[in-house]
């Protein structure tokens, strides 16, 4: 049967529309594939010295460096339409992530780091943002800036997320199921309590800070993203498994590092009455760091109701050799200053166990002393405490259990709760003001 001219034209147009539709679908899928492969990932917020006015937005791109890296942000949601945001800032630090031979063997693709400084923020304000590398734009995320007044708030704290899962070999690609489970617990706590403003990390993120390990830490960290794409800002410390250059490349502290290099010790002011001093046990605990500690502790003690310290290697280990020089140097060098200026709580990691010491002063039980909690349970296989250690006798204790702590700061107390992997409360106590 011979088709009329009009029927032939209609058939041609229909076939052309079909081809165009197929091409459109293929092009759309190709764009989606490119976005997935080359687009921004591993978005995170870093807090340093003044979270009420300053934050660092960091992210990763893969395979290609890109030419332009931008954060668009605002105090109201713009639903990801980048030109609708009131503020934008270019990333101030970009580069290729260093890779070693083992990274290539493990099949991890080349990554690139990007860090942008957000300055002159308003305190206690929700900030929505997207990041862009060239024309590839992320989803919209948000975080809440730190307070500057004396309102109540909470922080999460924990360390040693570097391992996990039933296979003791896991180099990079073996799923870290325990770490992932603890990340889900962190998300659940954050979703349950909007007053949780940030996360203090006690260090040892991966087995090393080589890219094959940090890559999977960042991938697992995306499990912490809260409802509505909320990001929980991180206060970073450095541990003995974080010594490769990849740590410095991926955990950039902005103005703090511009002033002091890669020493990774600094103070964080949260509200008008809470200061947290982050220390670094992986460099000299004497010298410049001790001088800095001696200078800052009295000032922070005078200015604040609450004064905490966070560092990796414990002064009072419950698993490892108490007299080992690694721990003794912390105890001999820093603890006298902690006691002189009456810090309220010490946060320790490294041992892979849950502990709370008795109050300690002059290396003995003293009701006016300092409680040390720890020692790391964000997915690392747990160890067994030496039950004979005097500082974990009642009212102290220690147990093998994955854990994350919630610290709630109010006018009359710090409430401390340790949560297990299933959300059970493993320990809880209170600290009263010293003044």
* Domain finish residue from 128, 143, 158: 143
Which residue has better confidence, 311 or 106? 311
Nearest to 393 by CA among 428, 356, 363: 356
Average pLDDT over residues 411-416: 98
* Residue 394 shares a structural domain with residue 423: yes
The three-class DSSP label of residue 25 is helix
The answer to the question of residue 35 being in a domain is no
CATH number at residue 107: 2.60.40.380
pTM of the model: 0.90
For the cut 60, the answer to whether the pLDDT of residue 284 exceeds it is yes
For residue 64, the model assigns a pLDDT of 78
Q: Contact at 8 Å (CB) between 328 and 314?
A: no
The three-class DSSP label of residue 303 is helix
List, for residues 367-389, the tens digit of each pLDDT value: 999 999 999 999 999 999 999 99
The answer to the question of residue 319 being in a domain is yes
Q: What percent of the chain has pLDDT over 90?
A: 83
Question: Considering Cα of 138, then 141, then 146, then 149, what sign does the dihedral take?
Answer: positive
* Domain finish residue from 143, 176, 208: 143
Determine the Cα–Cα distance for residues 173 and 332; give it in Å rounded to an integer: 40
Average pLDDT over residues 258-271: 94
* Residue 207 shares a structural domain with residue 133: no
For residue 15, the model assigns a pLDDT of 47
The answer to the question of residue 306 being in a domain is yes
* Residue 75 shares a structural domain with residue 172: no
pLDDT-derived band at 63 (thresholds 50, 70, 90) equals confident
Nearest to 311 by CA among 298, 324, 329: 329
Determine the Cα–Cα distance for residues 404 and 237; give it in Å rounded to an integer: 16
Average pLDDT over residues 128-147: 97
* Residue 126 shares a structural domain with residue 275: no
For residue 238, the model assigns a pLDDT of 98
Question: Considering Cα of 340, then 346, then 352, then 358, what sign does the dihedral take?
Answer: positive
* Residue 211 shares a structural domain with residue 276: yes
For the cut 80, the answer to whether the pLDDT of residue 435 exceeds it is no
Which residue has better confidence, 253 or 3? 253
Q: Which of 6-10, 227-231, 295-299 has the lowest mean pLDDT?
A: 6-10
For the cut 90, the answer to whether the pLDDT of residue 183 exceeds it is yes
For residue 174, the model assigns a pLDDT of 63
* Residue 287 shares a structural domain with residue 302: yes
Q: Which domain holds residue 55?
A: 41-143
CATH number at residue 304: 3.60.21.10
The answer to the question of residue 29 being in a domain is no
Mean confidence (pLDDT) of the chain: 91
Determine the Cα–Cα distance for residues 427 and 418; give it in Å rounded to an integer: 5
* Residue 248 shares a structural domain with residue 198: yes
For residue 47, the model assigns a pLDDT of 98
For the cut 90, the answer to whether the pLDDT of residue 331 exceeds it is yes
Average pLDDT over residues 238-256: 96
* Domain finish residue from 103, 128, 143: 143
* Residue 117 shares a structural domain with residue 261: no
For the cut 50, the answer to whether the pLDDT of residue 260 exceeds it is yes
**What is the distance of C-alpha 251 from the center of its chain?**
9
For residue 173, the model assigns a pLDDT of 54
Q: What percent of the chain has pLDDT over 70?
A: 89
The answer to the question of residue 7 being in a domain is no
* Residue 126 shares a structural domain with residue 190: no
For residue 110, the model assigns a pLDDT of 95
The answer to the question of residue 416 being in a domain is yes
The answer to the question of residue 30 being in a domain is no
Nearest to 186 by CA among 214, 159, 154, 225: 225
* Residue 57 shares a structural domain with residue 159: no
List, for residues 7-22, the tens digit of each pLDDT value: 444 444 454 544 455 5
* Residue 137 shares a structural domain with residue 253: no
Q: How many domains does the chain have?
A: 2
Q: Contact at 8 Å (CB) between 190 and 224?
A: yes
For the cut 70, the answer to whether the pLDDT of residue 319 exceeds it is yes
Q: Which of 28-32, 94-98, 144-148 has the lowest mean pLDDT?
A: 28-32
The answer to the question of residue 255 being in a domain is yes
* Residue 393 shares a structural domain with residue 381: yes
For residue 106, the model assigns a pLDDT of 83
pLDDT-derived band at 26 (thresholds 50, 70, 90) equals low
């Amino acid at each position: 049967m011979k088709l009329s001219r009009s029927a032939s034209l209609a058939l041609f147009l229909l076939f052309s529309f079909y081809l165009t539709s197929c091409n459109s679908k293929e092009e759309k899928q190709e764009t989606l594939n490119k976005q997935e492969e080359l687009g921004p990932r591993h978005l995170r917020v870093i807090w340093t010295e003044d979270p009420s006015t300053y934050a660092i937005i960091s992210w990763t791109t893969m395979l290609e460096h890109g030419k332009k890296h931008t954060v668009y942000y605002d105090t109201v949601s713009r639903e990801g339409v980048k030109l609708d945001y009131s503020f934008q800032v270019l990333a101030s630090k970009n580069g290729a992530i260093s890779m070693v031979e083992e990274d290539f063997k493990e099949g991890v693709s080349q990554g690139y780091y990007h860090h942008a400084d957000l300055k002159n923020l308003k305190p206690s304000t929700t900030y929505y943002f997207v990041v862009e590398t060239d024309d590839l734009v992320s989803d919209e995320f948000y975080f809440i800036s730190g307070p500057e007044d004396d309102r109540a708030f909470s922080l999460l704290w924990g360390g040693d997320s570097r391992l996990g899962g039933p296979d003791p070999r896991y180099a990079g690609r073996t799923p870290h199921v325990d770490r992932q489970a603890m990340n889900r617990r962190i998300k659940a706590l954050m979703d349950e309590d909007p007053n949780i403003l940030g996360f203090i990390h006690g260090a040892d993120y991966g087995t090393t800070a080589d890219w094959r390990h940090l890559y999977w830490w960042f991938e697992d960290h995306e499990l912490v993203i809260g409802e509505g794409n909320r990001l929980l800002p991180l206060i970073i410390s450095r541990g003995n498994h974080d010594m490769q250059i990849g740590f410095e490349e991926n955990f950039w502290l902005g103005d703090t590092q511009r002033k002091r290099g890669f020493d990774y010790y600094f103070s964080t002011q949260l509200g008008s009455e809470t200061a947290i001093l982050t220390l670094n046990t992986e460099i000299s605990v004497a010298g410049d760091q001790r001088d800095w500690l001696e200078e800052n502790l009295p000032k922070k003690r005078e200015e604040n109701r609450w004064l905490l310290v966070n560092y990796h290697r414990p002064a009072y280990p419950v698993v490892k050799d108490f007299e080992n020089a690694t721990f003794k140097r912390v105890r001999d060098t820093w603890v006298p200053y902690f006691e002189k200026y009456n810090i309220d709580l010490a946060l320790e990691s490294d041992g892979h166990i849950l502990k709370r010491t008795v109050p300690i002063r002059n290396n003995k039980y003293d009701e006016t002393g300092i409680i040390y909690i720890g020692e790391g349970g964000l997915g690392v296989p747990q160890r067994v405490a030496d039950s004979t250690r005097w500082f974990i006798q009642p009212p102290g204790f220690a147990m093998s259990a994955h854990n994350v702590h919630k610290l709630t700061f109010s006018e009359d107390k710090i409430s401390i709760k340790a949560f297990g992997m299933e959300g059970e409360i493993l320990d809880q106590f209170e600290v009263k003001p010293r003044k």
